[in-house]
């Protein structure tokens, strides 16, 4: 069970999530930490801990190990069907490490090597490699192109790391990479689109209602009833076991009586965003969900109880530019959101600027930034991990509902 951890998505060529690399705050350079029974017991008793299933769902976990840890032996709880062992250092002259890697392979694990210099085929560990990770931000593309054939001929999967824009994604995909790590999918693609399509205007109306201080049930019903799919998905969201474990909700009015205005507004906003981004990678929606819950928990911790739920809305809408491939100011001119939400999305709110810096620190495993923002917000930095872990679990639950409704779409190779 883990409490202080970050995850970074690894996507395939269709921009579906293949797995997550896990980065441990207590481990050197993000590697798996040295086990301490007393410390583990204390963490389990005092913090909101996660298991690998909570963190990665049904996806593969990439876990870094230092050579010394690997030589000492893997934790018995790791499952070779769902975990890739990633070796972050490999001293040239160390036969014990090669033996340890052979043992790892005998146990059924795949072995990944993190090597910006693209490891030599003469290295004794080369025949054991299943996955090679290449930092394309640091490496020379011509060098990469020269080396790729020998890895592909050896049936080694290639992961491009630090792919942070769509141009890099296209280049790496064309070079022959299979998997891509980086936040390229969370940035807007170049487009000439300047207006939201007419087919999305129902969703725009719903977003406006979710951000309104007034709650007009009749108005919302009218919007939802225009689209049978919206009505179906709203009820499916509200009946998600993550949110509602006791009662079967059969209508919006029933939901209002059971959940209250603030919670209904959250789900109307969530419903809108899910439909608005239904052609984008599901991981982008998932990031929005985690941010929404995290901002909501932060706002509550800071005593900001509001109707509409400002923190939730700001987190949920914080990636609208990537979802719609437009600049945020252009998008907000087309949406009926409040000035408070708009200001926060345009980075004009001191309070929510801290939330944004904090969530990016968690997403990027920038632990010193977490500590810095914890001081600004006057919230214990370890407790912040607990809040973020709760947001991950909540996001995973809602994602399952979304993914069952939106089957995987084939993304064009434009």
Largest separation between any pair of C-alpha atoms in the chain: 73
Q: Domain residues of the chain, as ranges?
A: 5-186, 198-405
The contacts of residue 376 (CB under 8 Å, 6+ apart) are 354
**pTM of the complete model:** 0.88
Task: Determine the Cα–Cα distance for residues 372 and 351; give it in Å rounded to an integer.
Answer: 14
The residue written with tokens 């390229």 in the block is 184
The contacts of residue 14 (CB under 8 Å, 6+ apart) are 408, 410, 411
Q: What length is written for the chain?
A: 414
Q: Which CATH architecture has domain 5-186?
A: Alpha-Beta Barrel (3.20)
pLDDT of residue 160: 93
For 363, the token pair is 């997403």
pLDDT of residue 226: 74
The partner residues of 50 in beta bridges, in order of sequence, read 2
User: CA 318, 322, 326, 327: dihedral to nearest 10 degrees?
Assistant: 50
pLDDT of residue 390: 93
Three-state secondary structure readout of the chain: CECCEEEEEEECCCCCEEEEEEEECCCHHHCCCCCCHHHHHHHHHHCCCECHHHHHCCCEEEEEECHHHHHHCCCCCCCCCCEEEEECCCCCCCHHHHHHHHHHHHCCCEEEEECCCCCCCCCCCHHHCCEEEEECCCCCHHHHHHHHHHHHHCCCEEEEECCCCHHHHHHHHHHCCCEEECCHHHCCCCCCCCCCCHHHHHHHHHHHHHCCCCCCHHHHHHHHHCCHHHHHHHHHHHCCCCCCCCCCCCCHHHHHHHHCHHHHHHHHHHHHHHHHCCCCCHHHHHHHHHHHHHHHHHHHHCCCCCCCCHHHHHHHHCCHHHHHCCCHHHHHCCCCCCHHHHHHHCCCCHHHHHHHHHHHHHHHCCHHHHHHHHHHHCCCHHHHHHHHHHHHHHHHHHHHHHHHHCCCCCCCCC
pLDDT of residue 409: 45
Tens digits of pLDDT across the chain (414 residues): 677 889 999 999 999 999 999 999 887 888 888 766 666 676 666 666 777 887 888 899 999 998 888 888 888 888 999 999 998 777 666 788 889 999 999 999 999 988 655 566 567 788 888 999 988 877 777 778 887 888 888 888 999 999 999 999 999 999 889 999 999 999 888 765 667 776 677 788 888 888 888 878 788 877 777 777 777 777 777 777 766 666 677 777 777 777 778 888 888 888 888 888 778 899 999 999 999 999 999 999 999 888 888 999 999 999 999 988 888 998 898 888 889 999 999 999 999 999 999 999 999 999 999 999 999 999 999 999 999 999 999 998 888 777 766 544 433 343
Instruction: Indicate the fold that domain 198-405 takes in CATH.
Output: Hypothetical protein af1432 (1.10.3210)
Q: Of the candidates 58, 41, 29, 38, which has an alpha carbon nearest to the alpha carbon of residue 3?
A: 41
What are the phi and psi torsion angles at 160 (to 5°)? -90, 120
Cα distances (Å, whole numbers) of residue 165 to 219, 241, 356, 395: 40, 36, 20, 24
């Amino acid at each position: 069970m883990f409490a202080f951890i970050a995850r970074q998505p690894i996507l395939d060529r269709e921009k579906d999530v293949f797995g997550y690399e896990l980065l441990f705050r207590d481990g050197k350079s993000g590697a798996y930490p040295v086990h301490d029974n007393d410390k583990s017991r204390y963490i389990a008793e005092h913090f909101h801990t996660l298991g690998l299933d909570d963190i990665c769902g049904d996806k593969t976990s990439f876990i870094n190990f230092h050579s010394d840890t690997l030589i000492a032996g893997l934790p018995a709880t790791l499952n070779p069907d769902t975990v890739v062992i990633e070796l972050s250092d490999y001293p040239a002259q160390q036969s014990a490490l090669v033996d340890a890697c052979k043992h790892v392979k005998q146990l059924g694990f795949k072995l990944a090597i993190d090597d910006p210099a693209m490891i030599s085929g003469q290295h004794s560990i080369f025949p054991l490699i299943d996955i090679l990770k290449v930092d394309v931000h640091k490496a020379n593309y011509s060098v990469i192109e020269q080396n790729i054939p020998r890895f592909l001929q050896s049936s080694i999967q290639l992961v491009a790391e630090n792919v942070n824009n769509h141009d890099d994604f296209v280049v790496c995909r064309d070079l022959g990479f299979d998997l891509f790590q980086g936040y390229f999918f969370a940035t807007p693609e170049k487009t000439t689109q300047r207006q939201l399509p007419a087919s999305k205007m129902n969703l725009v109306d719903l977003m406006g209602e979710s951000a309104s201080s007034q709650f007009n049930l009749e108005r919302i019903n009218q919007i939802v009833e225009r689209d049978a799919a919206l009505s179906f998905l709203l009820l499916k969201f509200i009946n998600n076991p993550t949110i509602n474990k006791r009662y079967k909700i059969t209508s919006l009015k029933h939901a209002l009586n059971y959940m209250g205005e603030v919670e209904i507004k959250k789900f109307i906003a969530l419903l809108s965003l899910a439909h608005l981004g239904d052609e984008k990678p599901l991981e982008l929606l998932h990031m929005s969900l985690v941010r929404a819950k995290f901002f909501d928990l932060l706002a509550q911790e800071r005593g900001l109880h509001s109707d509409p739920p400002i923190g939730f809305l700001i987190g949920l809408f914080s990636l609208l530019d990537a979802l719609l491939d437009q600049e945020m100011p252009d998008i907000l001119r087309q949406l009926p959101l409040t000035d408070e939400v708009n200001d926060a999305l345009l980075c004009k709110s001191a309070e929510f600027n801290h939330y944004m810096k904090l969530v990016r620190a968690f997403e990027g495993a920038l632990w010193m930034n977490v500590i810095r923002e914890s001081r600004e917000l006057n919230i214990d930095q370890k407790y912040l991990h607990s809040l973020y872990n709760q947001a991950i679990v909540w996001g995973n639950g809602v994602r399952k509902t979304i993914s069952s409704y939106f089957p995987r779409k084939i993304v064009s190779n434009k």
